[in-house]
Amino acid sequence: MKILFTLLLGLALSLPSSALAAQKNVVASVFPVWLLLREVTRDVPDVTVGLLLPAGTGCPHDYAMTPQDRRTLARADVLVMNGLGLESFLGEPKKIRDLVKPGAALIDVSRNVDGLIEEEGHEGHGHGANPHIFASPSMMAQMAVSLAAQLSETDRENAALYEAGGKRASAAFSELAEECAAAGERLGHKGVVTQHDIFGYLVRDMGLRVDGLIQPHEGQEPSAREMLDLVRLIRGKGTAAVVTEPQYPARTGQTLAEETGVPCIELDPVATGPEDAPMDYYEKVMRENMRTLEERLGR
Rounded Cα gap, residues 55 and 34, in angstroms: 9
Pairing of strands 191-194, 78-81: unpaired
State which amino acid sits at residue 83: G
Using CB atoms within 10 Å of the CB of residue 159, give its burial: 0 to 12 exposed, 13 to 18 middle, 19+ buried: middle
Strand locations in the chain, DSSP E? 24-28, 47-51, 78-81, 105-108, 191-194, 209-213, 241-244, 264-266
Return the percent helix, strand and coil in the chain, to nearest 5.
50, 10, 35
Per-residue confidence (pLDDT) for residue 120, from 0 to 100: 64
Per-residue confidence (pLDDT) for residue 5, from 0 to 100: 43
The one-digit pLDDT tens for each residue of the chain (299 residues) are 545 444 443 443 343 433 334 679 999 999 999 999 999 999 999 999 999 999 999 889 889 999 999 999 999 999 999 999 999 999 988 899 999 999 999 999 999 999 999 986 544 444 489 999 999 999 999 999 999 999 999 999 999 999 999 999 999 999 999 999 999 999 998 999 999 899 999 999 999 999 999 988 766 889 999 999 999 999 999 999 999 999 888 999 999 999 999 999 999 999 999 999 999 999 999 999 999 999 999 86
Per-residue confidence (pLDDT) for residue 192, from 0 to 100: 97
CA 162 to chain centre: 19
DSSP reduced 3-state for 213: strand
CA dihedral 64, 67, 72, 77 (to 10 degrees): 90
Per-residue confidence (pLDDT) for residue 16, from 0 to 100: 40
Rounded Cα gap, residues 268 and 35, in angstroms: 15
The segment(s) of the chain belonging to CATH 3.40.50.1980 are: 23-173, 186-297
Rounded Cα gap, residues 133 and 163, in angstroms: 21
Per-residue confidence (pLDDT) for residue 299, from 0 to 100: 63
CA 166 to chain centre: 16
| Beta pairing partners, 47 | 24
Model confidence pTM above 0.95: no
CATH number belonging to the domain at 186-297, selected among 3.40.50.300, 3.30.413.10, 3.30.70.380, 3.40.50.1980: 3.40.50.1980
State which amino acid sits at residue 27: V
Rounded Cα gap, residues 266 and 244, in angstroms: 5
Strand locations in 12-65, DSSP E? 24-28, 47-51
Per-residue confidence (pLDDT) for residue 164, from 0 to 100: 98
**CATH says 23-173 is which class?**
alpha beta
